[in-house]
Structure 1
Amino acid sequence: MHQFAKFLLSAIAVATITGCNVEPKAQVKTPTPSAAAPLAKQALHKDLSIWPTITSQVRADPALERRVSALLAQMSLEQKVAQMIQPEIRDIRVEDMRRYGFGSYLNGGGAFPNNNKHATPQDWIALAEAMYQASIDDSLDGSSIPTMWGTDAVHGHNNVIGATLFPHNIGLGAANNPALVEKIAQITAKEVMVTGIDWVFAPTVATVRDDRWGRTYESYSEDPEIVRTYAAAVVKGLQGHADKDVLADDRVISTVKHFIGDGGTVAGDDQGDNLASEQELFDLHAQGYVGGLSAGAQSVMASFNSWHGEKIHGHDYLLTQVLKEKMAFDGFVVGDWNGHGQIDGCRNDNCPQAVNAGLDIFMVPTDAWKPLLENTIAQVKQGIISQARIDDAVSRILRVKLRAGLFDKPSPANRVFSGKTALIGHQEHRAVAQQAVRESLVLLKNKNNILPLSPTLNIVVAGDGADNIGKQSGGWSITWQGTNNTNDDFPGGTSIYDGLAAQVQAAGGKITLSENGEFTEQPDVAIVVFGEEPYAEGHGDKDNLDYQRGMKTDLALLKKLKAQGIPVVSIFISGRPMWVNAELNASDAFVAAWLPGSEGKAVADVLLTDADNNIQYDFTGKLSFSWPKTANQTVNRFDDDYQPLLPYGFGLSYQASATSTRYTLSDNLSEAVQTDASAAKNTVIFNGKTAKPWRMFLTSAQQSVELRSSSASLTGIDYRTVDKVVQEDAFRLKTQGGTEAGVVFSSSFREDLAFELEQNSVLLMTVKPDSDITSPVAIMMHCESLGDAAGSCRASVDITQQLQAMTQGQWQDIAIDLQCFVQQGLAMDKVVSPLALSTQGAMTLSISALSFAKKPPTAHFIQCP
């Protein structure tokens, strides 16, 4: 049923549209929520005295304030609101900028000039210049205020082919070198300026408390100690120093994000709820803002998450009373990708609550920008939003633009660094990135001091991460999810294998690249590079930290090599600590490489000696995240019951052997997956209504519509709600045949449902055939994100025979063994669509319940060996 994949992808597309030494030292213990369980929801007693008044290094300037007031006095309401609208480059044209004069615009992850992934720096500059000239053209909107372009340059200018990609934040945290981080930020600013862009959405200053969160790698540490220092360093690197070069020609506007508490949501749920007390919110989650705002950050991005059930985008207390008034932040607050639309009572195109709460700029991708602009203007005229609130927001935007010199600088194509394309991926920049890679590596195990290795050995390099720059770079690398990239998409970059091969071949050793570990001549040692596939945001959320849960292919490779008597050195690529006890047991040495970016060659500098067996670089990286002892452990520094496998600050070196620490890892770590029977749960898909996080779509050929009413129709298919036990607790599909049609349930993100395998669940459907079933009916599950290669992670099961065996008009159950999907390549820890039903024939079928559950004894059961 080849058309099924097409309509499933189209439905998912609809659903998905939318960055030295750490040894512990004596200090005051930070109050932390319990590691064992999230805080219970509690009454909030708001206390502004908790929050400090911050003195920014960028001071108020009376002359500049007079310019702000003069500009504001000349602006119409329409011009003011346009300053508060930030559309995305895929959704506006240059003529829209000329007509409306947006205050800013952005490119989201995976968005490029001309929709061309391989757009050149000149293409980026051309778009920046065209948008700028349109913004200052007052012929249509009467405004000549320059616009500004914002971009997610979170580990280098990561949207641009050929840019230097630095290690993600988790690796930089392990390096614990603020001076290096400032240098990285300054290089990033310079490469961004080459393309004519003014504004960077960085740094991310989340303090992650649950590593199941899919954005853990965007955090420097689980403890605010490093986060606060790094926030200041990155802001200074991006914006410059107030006493000499703040917002100079080689600097950009920085953004501390995401305000506030995104790293502390219950169960690490992306965009979820943070239940910390106000004191804990400050102590744990606000320290990056203390550092970043003190250094002079000019923008703050509001977070998707809630605090005690209230979305931050609409949180007056936090955005206005705390951030703007008590903490004295005088820059602007920008929203995140349609985050305002998640506020109760709001839509993407209508949200006065966000403005009233203190949001200054709506980030509004998709075509919702125009009705949002119109609705906001109308709401000011109606008194729903005060003119004073609009004036405050626009004053903040103008203040930052004036401080950044946007009214006085040449246009983007004529700025100092614009078009100097040799700076993109310059070798001096790559040298700094290589230093960052070396300093971020953490040595967890070094049995019998097998490392460092001589480059004169016979070495086999195995694993799917060995020669894969995209995998080692992770998410936010060219594409949003970091997927659909090849090594050719990283010109100038190097894989981990590239660096090993160059040094081994130069020293006269022998090196073989073999992803599956095959060889013709027995090697002296195997270096195996493996780890997480790239992901970004909610697509990385996990139910627990068991690496390759349910499909231990990398472990099998390690064991295969060990069984042949070959010493194994493991290089683990990941965006977080993971439970890898079995992989540690099967390794003689184990290195946490995190996500090193485009300069994989630097790994060899630490792993290998020179040709004379002298150490080139020692391991200096230390864990800025505690390493879990079990797959289900949530553990953070200073917990009352602190029992990680490896503690915060741990990291071996060649100078300090494994025998000098009490955390020496044996080869017999427990490999038992600890499960809590009392915590067993099952995933509901539909039980009279669609259960979160799923959304339900009616599909037909290339058409797709989200179901939000009691009836809907597309070509060849009708949908309506019906009654089984109570009113509208089921739905009926009637297909006419001749076209592929059906229904799809999907999430905006990948969901980790691997626990359903551990519980021996089945996919359970309660259905009622209301007609003869004469054509094939298929059930599909899908685990691709939009960027994944078609056909790589989906599975289909034919249920025609079971439907035909049922009595028409009677409700009965169909149960499908999950192995039927897994054996076809479905990854249960990355499920986007847990169920899609499709047929090309004519039929009428009612459905009342869909879930993963225990198999009922009377179900029609589809079993797979």
Structure 2
Amino acid sequence: MRASWKLKLSLAMIAAVGTGLWACNSKLKSAPTLESITEITRSERTIDERVEQILSKLSLEEKIGQMTQITLDVVTKGENVYVSDEPLELDIELLKEAIAKHKVGSILNTANNRARSVEKWNKVIAEIQELSMQEIGIPCLYGIDAIHGTTYTAGATFFPQQIGMAATWNPDLVKQGAQVTAYETRASAIPWNFSPVLDMGRNPAWPRMWETYGEDVYLNAQMGIAAVKGYEGENNELSDSTKVAACIKHFLGYGSEKSGKDRTPAYLPEIELREHYLPSYKAAIDAGAHTIMINSGIINGQPVHANVDYLTTLLRDELKFDGLVVTDWADIQNLQTRDKVVATHKEAIKLAINAGIDMSMVPYTLEFTDLLVELVNEGEISIKRIDESVRRVLKLKLELGLFTKPYPSKDDYPEFGSEKFEKMAYNSAAESITLLKNDKRILPLKKGMKLLVSGPNANSMRTLNGGWSYSWQGEKVEAFAQGYNTILEAVQQKFGETNVKFVEGVTYNHAGQYFEEHVIDINAAVKAAQNVDVILLCLGENTYTESPGNLHDLYISQNQRKLAEALAATGKPVVLVLNEGRPRLISQFDRDMSAIIQTYLPGNFGADALADILIGEVNPSGKLPYSYPMYPNALGTYDHKPSESSNEMDGMYNYDSSLPLQFHFGYGLSYTTFAYKDLKLSKSEIGPEDSFTVSVKVKNVGERLGKEVVQLYTKDLVASITPDSRRLRRFKKVELAPGETKTVSFTLKASDLAFVGKDLKWTLEEGAFKIMIDKETQILKLNNSRQFEHANTL
């Protein structure tokens, strides 16, 4: 109950009196002090100078409050701390308890796990900011997970999820999407966005794979840079009221879990961590990202939230990150309750803060503030360490302009939810959708064809959006997205309602477990197929993220398989539309499909884009950002070692080693055809300090306007550490008219060819490298070897 929570706080205060702490805590800033903070923030001094002056006026309790973040449900009216009343209202007494007494400096999330209107967000946050400025003279820093649009704001523009944005292979679209999200998040009075995710999607079983930009570190880095620049602006000017502070997450190695289950242990050699998991973070840090969220998991037996080697030595000293570090949800307390590396919550706080954490996402109990005060007074955590963190919090608030304008008005953002923004989201969905199979060129379909639309994903806005859409698990999408088209509705609009039949066949039990399904009537779907020309079969996944999305079997569900096999047995051509967050295995029936289209999680405009592709008004141009596996025990990435693939092995000890894939990384078909020729190098030999240019001619030899992703790979032929089979080094998306030829050029540095050696240094060894674009290849020779602090691979 809320009453018991308040009693708990009161008891903590009484206990504090006994230790002399409450006497210090009760020194609430008088009006002159508040006025002096205001004067400081309006002065002509530099931001760093203002930070130091404000810091000097804060008590220990006020400093620690700035390091504390609670969830919104804690300060709203409701029967307990986890549930808020509807309509949503702040509980002013609870808010005062959090801000006036505990000096809380940050709040996150929505209440009751559901989206709110822009007007409601502005009202709620205005009340929070007014009290915060009144009581301590410092604004609250509000944060939200706005990962493919402003997740928790009704009417916001939703783009494809990150895995779909990666499939565009178009960083300009990623930047545009981030710009729109920043604008609409700031319109919601929220200045801090927990995005982008720069974890690597290298395990297709991982339930957060769709939140990533896929399996390749270079693709991740380029998309991450674009997202940061979109959120924060080209020069990271957070004073621009249309920008938000980006939060790159989850540093470091999240997604590499051995089991593929969320937040289970990872075992990562440092060579692997540095070469495949670290560079995307370095790229985003170098792009100016202001904040970082930490990996909730364990690497090599040690929780990342307690790892000083990662959080201080690597992040601060080596990568030179000087921004704010925030925990993930309850992860300091998890050091005690889940990971068992300490016996008490107090010890967990000591471990995490000394390791390098600046702000604790508490999120429910304010015990954190009292315990951290005790630790400082006992000498277990230095005031110097506290001041380091508070400086970062204050600096971010000043850079965001929150002291001078703590909250905006919706009227300041007239383009919120505009047709202009919606067109951008549609374009992103259209460029993300990936054509994987097109036997006998059955696609595009002709107008006037009679279609059967079937499958559990055919008439659902929920599945098009995925998790983090109006609610954490996406289960509330249908309440907010009725104004957009499902696949069925979009197809009916394009082909005519009289030409489109709908029999679902299999459905999800939306009230039950996330993957629970019901077979409605497969026979009815088979019967409905008798008088149609083509079957549009929409399969995939229901919404999920994090641990609720853990899987035991990567095969697509057996109910969906039965539906696919039954419809294929009718003899009608079946176009399989996949709508899924990760590559669910289809090797049991893919041969029976005439065409296969991957939509990923395309957002509210995904069905419209799909319908336009089906009818030929849009030529598909998406490319896979991951390797699509064929079997559950044959998971791997495109940059595997030679011994993992039989076609790269020589000699008698092959034993048919193989890495069978359904579709390879970077794969995607078009309605036209592209031909490559004349791959050229500006130099055939280089030194370790040199740059060189690679060029190739690309021609559209088909009959349609189309976009092609030109992908440049390299292969180190011999190295002291077994080289990857190939590595993506550059890419560019180009548009070509029928018969048109373009020369596409890339400039690389020799250091782009470096790898992490056994001494953990970026190493460039003399020898030969194969340069590859499509089927064109050239050999480049490198003279002399060199080591680098960091390779220029990004």
Fold shared by both chains (TM-score > 0.5): yes
Residue pairs, 1:465-480, within 5 angstroms: 465-480=457-472
4+ runs of 1 displaced by more than 4 Å? 346-350, 419-422
Secondary structure of 2:568's match?
Answer: helix
What is aligned with 1:129? Answer: 126
Which letter maps to 2:156? A
Structure 1, unaligned runs of 5 or more? 1-60, 610-614, 659-865
Aligned partners of 2:139 and 2:406 also within 8 Å: no
Match of 2:539 among 519, 530, 545: 530
The answer to whether residue 565 in structure 2 is matched with residue 565 in structure 1 is: no
Aligned partners of 1:122 and 1:419 also within 8 Å: no
Residue pairs, 1:540-689, within 5 angstroms: 540-548=549-557, 552-609=558-615, 615-640=616-641, 641-642=644-645, 643=659, 644-656=661-673
What is aligned with 2:202? Answer: 209
Moved more, 253-262 or 169-178: 169-178
Match of 1:385 among 381, 391, 394: 381
**Residues 167/348 of structure 1: CA separation in 2 closer, same or farther (3 Å cut):** farther
Aligned partners of 1:129 and 1:411 also within 8 Å: yes
Aligned partners of 2:599 and 2:606 also within 8 Å: no
Secondary structure of 2:585's match?
Answer: coil
User: How many equivalent residue pairs?
Assistant: 571
**Residues 524/650 of structure 1: CA separation in 2 closer, same or farther (3 Å cut):** same
**Residues 65/657 of structure 1: CA separation in 2 closer, same or farther (3 Å cut):** closer
**Deviation at residue 491 of structure 1 after TM alignment:** 4.4
Deviation sequence 1:219-251 (CA, Å, 0-9, x none): 1111101111111111110111117x5441100
What is aligned with 1:333? Answer: 325
Deviation sequence 1:419-449 (CA, Å, 0-9, x none): 5676443222121111111111111111111
Moved more, 119-128 or 248-257: 119-128
Query: Separation in 1 of the partners of 2:343 and 2:73?
Result: 23
**Deviation at residue 624 of structure 1 after TM alignment:** 1.1
What is aligned with 1:359? Answer: 357
What is aligned with 2:183? Answer: 190
What is aligned with 2:167? Answer: 174
Residue pairs, 1:729-808, within 5 angstroms: none
Deviation sequence 1:38-95 (CA, Å, 0-9, x none): xxxxxxxxxxxxxxxxxxxxxxx99221111111111100000000000000112432
Query: Separation in 2 of the partners of 1:619 and 1:651?
Result: 8
Aligned partners of 2:214 and 2:220 also within 8 Å: yes
Deviation sequence 1:270-308 (CA, Å, 0-9, x none): 212232222321211112211211111110001101221
**Deviation at residue 514 of structure 1 after TM alignment:** 2.3
Query: Separation in 2 of the partners of 1:509 and 1:334?
Result: 54
Query: Separation in 2 of the partners of 1:317 and 1:645?
Result: 39
What is aligned with 1:120? Answer: 117
What is aligned with 1:84? Answer: 67
What is aligned with 1:374? Answer: 370
Secondary structure of 2:589's match?
Answer: helix
**Deviation at residue 256 of structure 1 after TM alignment:** 0.4
Which letter maps to 2:203? D
**Residues 633/321 of structure 1: CA separation in 2 closer, same or farther (3 Å cut):** same
What is aligned with 2:500? Answer: 511
Aligned partners of 2:218 and 2:280 also within 8 Å: no
Aligned partners of 2:459 and 2:488 also within 8 Å: yes
The answer to whether residue 446 in structure 2 is matched with residue 437 in structure 1 is: no
Aligned partners of 1:204 and 1:218 also within 8 Å: yes
The answer to whether residue 319 in structure 2 is matched with residue 322 in structure 1 is: no
Deviation sequence 1:820-848 (CA, Å, 0-9, x none): xxxxxxxxxxxxxxxxxxxxxxxxxxxxx
**Deviation at residue 563 of structure 1 after TM alignment:** 2.4
Secondary structure of 2:599's match?
Answer: strand
What is aligned with 1:63? Answer: 46
Query: Separation in 1 of the partners of 2:378 and 2:189?
Result: 39
Query: Separation in 1 of the partners of 2:621 and 2:344?
Result: 49
**Deviation at residue 348 of structure 1 after TM alignment:** 5.4
What is aligned with 1:289? Answer: 281
Aligned partners of 1:348 and 1:364 also within 8 Å: no
Query: Separation in 2 of the partners of 1:254 and 1:178?
Result: 16
What is aligned with 1:103? Answer: 105
Query: Separation in 1 of the partners of 2:326 and 2:573?
Result: 52
What is aligned with 2:220? Answer: 227
What is aligned with 1:829? Answer: none
The answer to whether residue 134 in structure 2 is matched with residue 148 in structure 1 is: no
Secondary structure of 1:519's match?
Answer: helix
Query: Separation in 2 of the partners of 1:625 and 1:648?
Result: 5
**Deviation at residue 521 of structure 1 after TM alignment:** 6.5
Deviation sequence 1:355-397 (CA, Å, 0-9, x none): 000000000112x2x2111010011000011100000000111
Query: Separation in 1 of the partners of 2:245 and 2:177?
Result: 15
RMSD over equivalenced CA pairs, Å: 2.1
Secondary structure of 2:662's match?
Answer: coil
TM-score by length of 1: 0.64
**Residues 241/348 of structure 1: CA separation in 2 closer, same or farther (3 Å cut):** farther
Deviation sequence 1:622-677 (CA, Å, 0-9, x none): 1110011212222101212242232111111111399xxxxxxxxxxxxxxxxxxx
Query: Separation in 2 of the partners of 1:194 and 1:179?
Result: 23
**Deviation at residue 564 of structure 1 after TM alignment:** 2.4
Secondary structure of 2:259's match?
Answer: helix
Aligned partners of 1:121 and 1:421 also within 8 Å: no
Which letter maps to 1:634? L
Query: Separation in 1 of the partners of 2:456 and 2:674?
Result: 30
**Deviation at residue 203 of structure 1 after TM alignment:** 0.3
Secondary structure of 1:91's match?
Answer: helix
Aligned partners of 1:304 and 1:339 also within 8 Å: yes
User: % of aligned pairs identical?
Assistant: 30
Structure 2, unaligned runs of 5 or more? 1-43, 76-93, 336-340, 506-524, 646-658, 676-794
What is aligned with 1:667? Answer: none
**Residues 480/589 of structure 1: CA separation in 2 closer, same or farther (3 Å cut):** same
The answer to whether residue 255 in structure 2 is matched with residue 257 in structure 1 is: no
TM-score by length of 2: 0.69
Secondary structure of 2:403's match?
Answer: coil
What is aligned with 1:412? Answer: 407
Query: Separation in 2 of the partners of 1:616 and 1:509?
Result: 21
Moved more, 591-600 or 489-498: 489-498
Query: Separation in 2 of the partners of 1:348 and 1:422?
Result: 46
What is aligned with 2:474? Answer: 482
Aligned partners of 2:178 and 2:227 also within 8 Å: yes
Query: Separation in 2 of the partners of 1:273 and 1:116?
Result: 28
Deviation sequence 1:470-500 (CA, Å, 0-9, x none): 01111111121112442x4214322122221
Which letter maps to 2:150? H
Secondary structure of 1:352's match?
Answer: helix
**Deviation at residue 122 of structure 1 after TM alignment:** 1.0
**Residues 448/509 of structure 1: CA separation in 2 closer, same or farther (3 Å cut):** farther
**Deviation at residue 99 of structure 1 after TM alignment:** 3.4
**Deviation at residue 578 of structure 1 after TM alignment:** 2.1
**Residues 62/230 of structure 1: CA separation in 2 closer, same or farther (3 Å cut):** farther
The answer to whether residue 499 in structure 2 is matched with residue 502 in structure 1 is: no
Query: Separation in 2 of the partners of 1:346 and 1:63?
Result: 44
**Deviation at residue 172 of structure 1 after TM alignment:** 1.1
Secondary structure of 1:621's match?
Answer: coil
Deviation sequence 1:83-130 (CA, Å, 0-9, x none): 0000000112432224333221101xxx33xx4836322111111101
**Deviation at residue 411 of structure 1 after TM alignment:** 3.1
Which letter maps to 1:591? I
As a proportion of its length, which structure holds more helix?
2
**Residues 622/347 of structure 1: CA separation in 2 closer, same or farther (3 Å cut):** farther
Query: Separation in 1 of the partners of 2:382 and 2:268?
Result: 32
Aligned partners of 2:530 and 2:570 also within 8 Å: no
The one of the two structures with greater contact order (alpha-carbon pairs below 8 A, sep at least 6) is 1
